[in-house]
Amino acid sequence: MTVNVSTRTADGVTVARVEGEITSTTAPGVQDRLLPLVGGSGRLLIDFSAVPYVSSAGLRMLLILYRRAEQAQTGVVLGGLSEEVRFVMSATGFLGFFEIADDLGSEMGSVRP
Amino acid sequence: MTAERIDDFPTRQIAGYRVRRGRPFPHGATLVPGGVNFSVFSDGATAMTLVLFERGAAEPMQELPFPPGYRIGSVFTMTVFGLDLESLEYGFRADGPFDPVRGDRFDRNAILADPHALLLSGRDTWGVPPDWSRPYQYRSMIALEDFDWQDDAPLRTPTEDLVIYETHVRGFTRHPSSGVPAPGTYAGLRAKIPYLRELGINCVELMPIFEFDEFDNGRVNPGTGERLHNYWGYNTIGFFAPKAGYAATGAYGMQADEFKALVKDLHKAGIEVLLDVVFNHTAEGNEHGPTISFKGLDNATYYMLTPEGYYYNFSGTGNTVNCNHPVVRDFVLTCLRHWVAEYHVDGFRFDLAAILDRGPDGTPLPNPPLLEQLAYDPILRHTKLIAEAWDAGGLYQVGHFPNYGRWSEWNGKYRDVLRRFLKGDEGTVGELAARVAGSPDLYGGRGPAASVNFITAHDGFTLNDLVSYNDKHNEANGEGNADGANDNNSWNCGVEGPTSDPEVNALRLRQMKNALAILLVSQGVPMLLAGDEAGRTQLGNNNTYCQDNELSWFDWTLVDTSAELLRFARQMIGFRHAHPILREARHPLGVDFSGVGLPDVSWHGVRPWEPDWSPGSRLLAMMRCGRNAAGTKDHVYVAMNSHWEGHDLELPELSGGVWRIFADTGAAAPYDIHEPGTEPMPGHPRRHHIAPRSVVILTGSDD
């Protein structure tokens, strides 16, 4: 199982679009792709519109990424969360740690090609 | 310096898996670099096999025998590398003799759950009927134990300051009226924290949340034909695993995180969490019960057995855990430490705790090592330990449970005499005085915090039913109304069950207020049954262990329809928090420590300083002198009248001060209870009429 991560940057905002389920199998690969995006100035927007499921290990990967970003003073925003993913993050208390973009379109406006 | 260790590498392959000899501690499955360390104890096993499943698959994907050298003492241990933690389920296959008379019941056809499993799968979503054809119902899983607790720390609320609220995770929000996003779950309960804060309680006691099987009840409701459940869950399968079916995310295996998020938010709201734990028996039953874990690993160690190899049944459920066996003591201690260290819970209520002081042959021990060990354990040191100080084998230890200065008890005698007084029985006033003063006759030397005072609990009638039924009505349980307690000390106020008679309903409401009022001014630790603050009914069923339906669920429309009772309960809880004299850590002695001329407690009748202790007396007034506690100076006067007639009370004189009426259950709402600062004075400064079957609470200052 592979998860695709594609990135593009404009005006100091990096958008990382993740496609696929984030589980214990795929999380390390996703983390390897996302971590290098932390540390640059500005913001990192992770687009989850194509992520149907995030497992327990996936949520932990996100939280570790978020902690790294805090240290590097990179703002991380999660966008495009499905109802299901948002519900699981809410029930387990993970949601409260993240900045969530309800309206992905407006967040991404500045980085449209 | 490299972070790697030289023993991070496998030494051989078994069945295609890279392994090495493991570490015996800790028992269970533990994450180590690159792999998982498995460790399991069995004294009598001749061979042990680790069985691995792909999550959800019917048949194992692989079985790995522990090589002979992977055994240290009676512990089998192996580290397996390269496992996928999230999709792995595991169990053990133990080989050994089947010789019940000697206590051995090994069965190499059974795949056993790990006694230390951090998660169990198989009942991931509540109420989804299991596939009984699967050979192995409950599978052990590995948990990711990291959780960001941030700065969560134990609240360490002094025990005497607690107001405990006993509830059931599912029942609290399962009713369609709860209005929460995930009804019947840890997340649902978390969404109701604002309600708990507004109510004013500062401690929740959760009925069992260790993994159990809600489908282990084979009975049906004779009225409806519906299958009954094991709804309460006093039948543990996994002592280290939070129940998945109580988690909205149980299907994803995230119950541990969801439960931790609940505990963390309760702590943020100033609310402690106690777990109701069941160490007296397990779900394996007697010789006819299933082999799930302990029975197949080391039957003779974990259970109390008769000389013929049958199961002692002090629990009333088939088997009895051999709690004072040294190995089992370790198991219990490790389990409780796990819940404190890993889940940040604040204490425990021990179901049928008298069993915990029985020796291996069932004899009560004078100095039971398990209880002593729990009392002094460094991790458990500041947690609350509360005993249900009796068992089903006839051992009743209320007032003399081995306590080591640490243990509190459910005060069953408080419940019994309060109920008898409330219904108007003769000969109760003398004992009532002892109970509302913190039961110094039972807990002298231990202090009032040893007494958990309650009138209702999950076992028995709800408060509404206590004043609405003379007899239990348990037909829906499918046992011909033979189950449940018969000595309820209840009174239906004239009509059995619901009625449209306004006088009966008014009396019931007053009786519920009377109960709450007395409970919340009593010294000791008050415990409320969830829903009683809003008049929850079980239609006279006093044993709803099997009723996963509206009989048990909290109907949240009661918050509106019982607004008067709820307001009364909130105000009473607030009153308790505002008056330290009611929460003193020592028993009152009837002595004037303050020098204001009033003893810390004094007793009165219709006339001040003249209590009537005669058998026919149904009126008693207690005065607590606030000068005897730090942080307050208000005196509290509580007149309790269970007589069917009213009385003109003459109030004790205050030097220069006045009495104000905080509560009078005989008065119509909203004059039944007053916001602090708005309490009116009695019409005559030293007189007040107490209505029939009423409680009056006055506050006074001597400024």
CB atoms near residue B103 (< 10 Å) = 17
- Rounded-to-integer distance, Cα B107 and Cα B92, Å: 11
Spatial CA neighbour of B504 closest among B473, B477, B467: B467
Report the greatest alpha carbon distance in chain B: 91
CB atoms near residue A95 (< 10 Å) = 18
Q: Annotated catalytic, B679?
A: no
Q: Which of B56-65, B128-137, B384-393 has the lowest mean pLDDT?
A: B128-137
Residues 6 or more apart in contact with residue B275 via CB below 8 angstroms: B205, B206, B208, B209, B210, B339, B345, B347, B348, B349
CATH 2.60.40.10 domain span(s) along chain B: 12-141
- Rounded-to-integer distance, Cα B284 and Cα B282, Å: 5
| pLDDT tier, A106 (very low <50, low <70, confident <90, very high otherwise) | low
- Rounded-to-integer distance, Cα B683 and Cα B523, Å: 30
**Mean pLDDT of the region B68-92:** 96
Instruction: Quick: pLDDT tens for B633-675.
Output: 789 999 999 999 999 999 999 888 899 999 999 999 999 999 9
Residue B268 has pLDDT above 80, yes or no: yes
Q: Which residue of B36, B149, B151, B249 is the best one to mutate when testing the A interface, meaning the one whose CB has the most A CBs within 10 A?
A: B249
Interface predicted TM-score (ipTM)? 0.92
Beta strands at B28-32 and B35-41: parallel, antiparallel or unpaired:
antiparallel
Pair B161, B583: CB distance under 8 Å: yes
Q: Which tokens belong to B155?
A: 């609240």
Name the minimum distance, in Å, from the CA of B560 to any CA of chain A. 27
Cross-chain Cβ contact B257/A93 below 8 Å: yes
Q: Where are the beta strands (DSSP E) in B67-214?
A: 71-72, 75-81, 88-95, 98-99, 104-105, 119-121, 139-141, 164-167, 203-206, 210-212
Q: What is the pLDDT of residue B243?
A: 98
Q: B453 forms bridges with which residues in the sheet?
A: B526
Cross-chain Cβ contact A56/B260 below 8 Å: no
Pair B635, B598: CB distance under 8 Å: yes
Cross-chain Cβ contact B258/A63 below 8 Å: no
Name the domain count of chain A. 1
Which amino acid is located at B119 in the chain?
Answer: L
The CATH number linked to A78 is 3.30.750.24
* Residue B258 CB-density burial (10 A; 0-12 exposed, 13-18 middle, 19+ buried): buried
CATH 3.20.20.80 domain span(s) along chain B: 161-580
**CATH class of the domain at B161-580:** alpha beta
- Within-domain flag for A15: yes
Give me the phi and psi of B595, to 5 degrees please: 80, 10
Residues 6 or more apart in contact with residue B188 via CB below 8 angstroms: B172, B173, B174, B178, B180, B181, B182, B248
| pLDDT tier, B292 (very low <50, low <70, confident <90, very high otherwise) | very high
Interface of B with A (CB under 8 A): 84-87, 144, 146, 148, 181-182, 185-187, 247-249, 252-254, 257-258, 260-261, 264-265
Name the minimum distance, in Å, from the CA of A37 to any CA of chain B. 23
Cross-chain Cβ contact B253/A60 below 8 Å: no
Which amino acid is located at B623 in the chain?
Answer: M
DSSP for residue B305: B
List C-alpha distances in Å: B342 to B67, B152, B253, B606, B634.
32, 12, 17, 55, 42
Q: A14 forms bridges with which residues in the sheet?
A: A9, A44
* Contact residues on chain A for B182, CB-CB shorter than 8 A: 87, 91
Which amino acid is located at B520 in the chain?
Answer: L
Cross-chain Cβ contact A88/B260 below 8 Å: no
Cross-chain Cβ contact B187/A25 below 8 Å: no
Pair B394, B435: CB distance under 8 Å: no
Q: Annotated catalytic, B388?
A: yes
Q: What is the pLDDT of residue A111?
A: 46
Q: Residue B356 half-sphere exposure, CB side, CA atoms within 13 Å?
A: 30
Pair B401, B409: CB distance under 8 Å: yes
Residue B703 has pLDDT above 80, yes or no: no
- Within-domain flag for A113: no
- Rounded-to-integer distance, Cα B664 and Cα B695, Å: 6
Instruction: Quick: pLDDT tens for B492-505.
Output: 999 999 999 999 99
Give me the phi and psi of B150, to 5 degrees please: 50, -130
Higher pLDDT, B479 or B592: B479
Residues 6 or more apart in contact with residue B270 via CB below 8 angstroms: B155, B157, B197, B202
Residue A113 has pLDDT above 50, yes or no: no
**Mean pLDDT of the region B364-369:** 95
Q: Which of A3-12, B61-70, B192-201 has the lowest mean pLDDT?
A: A3-12
**CATH class of the domain at B12-141:** mainly beta
From the list A24, A25, A88, the residue facing B249 with the nearest CB is A88
Q: Which residue of A65, A84, A92 is the best one to mutate when testing the B interface, meaning the one whose CB has the most B CBs within 10 A?
A: A92
CB atoms near residue B69 (< 10 Å) = 7
Question: What dotted CATH number matches B588-700?
Answer: 2.60.40.1180
Which DSSP string corresponds to B507-538?
HHHHHHHHHHHHHHHSSSEEEEETTGGGT---
Interface of A with B (CB under 8 A): 23-25, 55-57, 59-60, 63, 87-88, 90-94, 97
Beta strands at B75-81 and B17-21: parallel, antiparallel or unpaired:
antiparallel
Name the minimum distance, in Å, from the CA of B31 to any CA of chain A. 13
* Contact residues on chain A for B186, CB-CB shorter than 8 A: 91
Instruction: Quick: pLDDT tens for B8-36.
Output: 899 999 999 999 999 999 999 999 999 99
Cross-chain Cβ contact A97/B148 below 8 Å: yes
Q: What is the pLDDT of residue A74?
A: 87
- Rounded-to-integer distance, Cα B31 and Cα B88, Å: 13
What is the C-alpha R_g of chain B? 27
Higher pLDDT, A111 or B331: B331
Instruction: Quick: pLDDT tens for B612-629.
Output: 999 999 999 999 998 877
Instruction: Quick: pLDDT tens for A35-92.
Output: 999 886 678 999 999 999 999 999 999 999 999 998 888 889 999 999 999 999 999 9
* Residue A29 CB-density burial (10 A; 0-12 exposed, 13-18 middle, 19+ buried): middle
Residues of chain A by 3-state class (helix, strand, coil), percent to 5:
40, 30, 25
**Mean pLDDT of the region B93-99:** 98
Cross-chain Cβ contact B257/A94 below 8 Å: yes
Q: What is the pLDDT of residue B657?
A: 87
Q: Residue A85 half-sphere exposure, CB side, CA atoms within 13 Å?
A: 22
Cross-chain Cβ contact B252/A88 below 8 Å: yes
Name the minimum distance, in Å, from the CA of A56 to any CA of chain B. 6
Q: What is the pLDDT of residue A110?
A: 47
Burial B552-590 (b: 16+ CB within 10 A, else e): bbbbbebeeebebbbebbbbbbbbbeebbbbbbeebbee
Q: What's the first-to-final CA gap in chain B, in angstroms?
A: 72
Look at the alpha carbons of B583, B585, B589, B593 in this order and tell me if their dihedral is positive or negative.
negative
Q: What is the mean pLDDT of chain B?
A: 96
Alpha helix locations (H) across B123-231? 169-173, 186-191, 193-199
Name the minimum distance, in Å, from the CA of A105 to any CA of chain B. 27
Q: Which residue of A56, A59, A61 is the best one to mutate when testing the B interface, meaning the one whose CB has the most B CBs within 10 A?
A: A56
| pLDDT tier, B233 (very low <50, low <70, confident <90, very high otherwise) | very high
In terms of CA atoms, which chain A residue is nearest residue B150? Answer: A97
B176: three-class secondary structure by DSSP: helix
Which DSSP string corresponds to B232-293?
S--SEEEEEEE-GGG-TTGGGT-HHHHHHHHHHHHHHTT-EEEEEE--S--TT-STTS---S
Residue B522 has pLDDT above 60, yes or no: yes
Query: Range of A100's domain?
Result: 4-108
Residue B47 has pLDDT above 50, yes or no: yes
Which residue among the candidates B346, B351, B416, B533 is catalytic per the annotation?
A: B351
Instruction: Quick: pLDDT tens for B541-582.
Output: 999 999 999 999 999 999 999 999 999 999 999 999 999 999
Which residue among the candidates B104, B272, B357, B388 is catalytic per the annotation?
A: B388
Beta strands at B28-32 and B687-690: parallel, antiparallel or unpaired:
unpaired
- Within-domain flag for A64: yes
Pair B262, B249: CB distance under 8 Å: no
| pLDDT tier, A9 (very low <50, low <70, confident <90, very high otherwise) | confident
- Rounded-to-integer distance, Cα B375 and Cα B384, Å: 10
Name the minimum distance, in Å, from the CA of B3 to any CA of chain A. 19
Cross-chain Cβ contact A57/B264 below 8 Å: no
CATH 2.60.40.1180 domain span(s) along chain B: 588-700
- Rounded-to-integer distance, Cα B466 and Cα B300, Å: 43
B335: three-class secondary structure by DSSP: helix
